[in-house]
Structure 1
Amino acid sequence: MTTAPLSPSSRTTVTRGRNRAVEDRAELHALLADALIAHVGVDVGDHPVVLPVAFAVDLDGPDQGGTLYIHGSVAARWLTRSEGSTVCVTITEVDGLVAARSAFHHSMNYRSAVVIGAARVVDDPDEKARALSLTVDHMVPGRAATLRPHTRKEIAATSVLAVPLHEASLKIRAEGPVDEPEDVDAGVWGGVIPIRRIAGAPVPAPEAVDSRVPDDVVRRSEQLA
């Protein structure tokens, strides 16, 4: 696992709001562990697209800086055509709504990462199976070990895109409103509305023979409660 600083290139060097730029790669890893959805931007030829995707991370993966995995159907044109192309993956978590004393200074508290790199379509069946299991475990840690192995048909029907984590940037805002002194003196309320993700109680599928919730699902639900 690399511990090299973030933003190793001009493409990922933060120029706007540099006071919120974070160079500690461990902070990027923490955000990737927390987030559930990424957005990938690709050029499909006649237009760009930005799509929400489930993802997984292997910090000891084969790509420089570790590997970010994105999966989709083999019929997904954007994914299969991304081989060798530069893609941009963004991951954002909103942690609070910042209510300032003026409209101009309203903001959000957030953690936001940008990863740029040459995409690699995973062809090796073992790496692909591992990437799919990591994706399951990213949603519910420990879940993959409780399931039957992937079939060859399932692996063949799924495409996996690997993006190096080497070239990345991270910005974090975690503070209250930044107001003009005269607006503070005016006495208007300012502050933060914290936001966090909360999971409800697990709901068994209607056809479930055993309604007991497995330990991995219980742990995940409690973690997000």
Structure 2
Amino acid sequence: MLETGINELSREYESIVEALILSLQSTDSDESKQTLKMIDALRQNIQIMLRLASDVDRNKQPDISAEEVSKIGDYALNLLDEISVSCASRGMQDQMLELHRLSLPVVSWLKVYGGQVKKLDIVVNAIASYANTIQDNKQLELLCELISNVIDVTDIEIKRDLEATNPMRPWRILNLNWGIVATRTHNSEIMQHVFDQLIKNIPADCQQFFNEGMQQMDVVGYPDNVREVMRKYAGGFGVNGVRH
């Protein structure tokens, strides 16, 4: 599912919520009815996203603003989050995780059509779930690219990082996970690029990340090229020798 695109989103979504729908239909409660409405609302929202993609594929100029694109994407992310909560309350942990992961094709859609991510927490949860399970270096590089896309389209208000005192803020966690995934790729160029971005994005937190990363070099047994990059950043210098 790491490479699931917008065209597969509808099919994946229907497969994920199938068991949840059956569970909701077996109980006659206001909560169940509300969740079923949300499931249908997201189904319709996905169709709107697909129609826009189809229009562009057919070289039809979409009559929609970047703000409207952002609202459509934001609605999708909020519904995914709300429906995933219902999964969790019914013990459907796998479905909850898969719904979180569907936030990533929504982000890709927002990037293509000029929107911004305004709800970051569900996206951060999706990325963390992949980071905890992927071991292959090429897949880790792909995950780094996905995180870069998320960074690119994150709303400017989130990027201002005004809640810098909150260590659990999604913006901080996203960037730290980016750094961890970059390190695990063992790719020096990717590490340097990501580390430079961490210095810009979370300046108050990056030095601790580099220091702790250096401590992990022996624990994990990283190769020499990874150690060298981490050593320079932990020492307060980027690879080009410029102090940060």
Same structural fold, with TM-score higher than 0.5 when normalized by the shorter chain: no
Calculate the TM-score normalised by the size of structure 2.
0.21
- Between Structure 1 and Structure 2, the one with more strand by share is 1
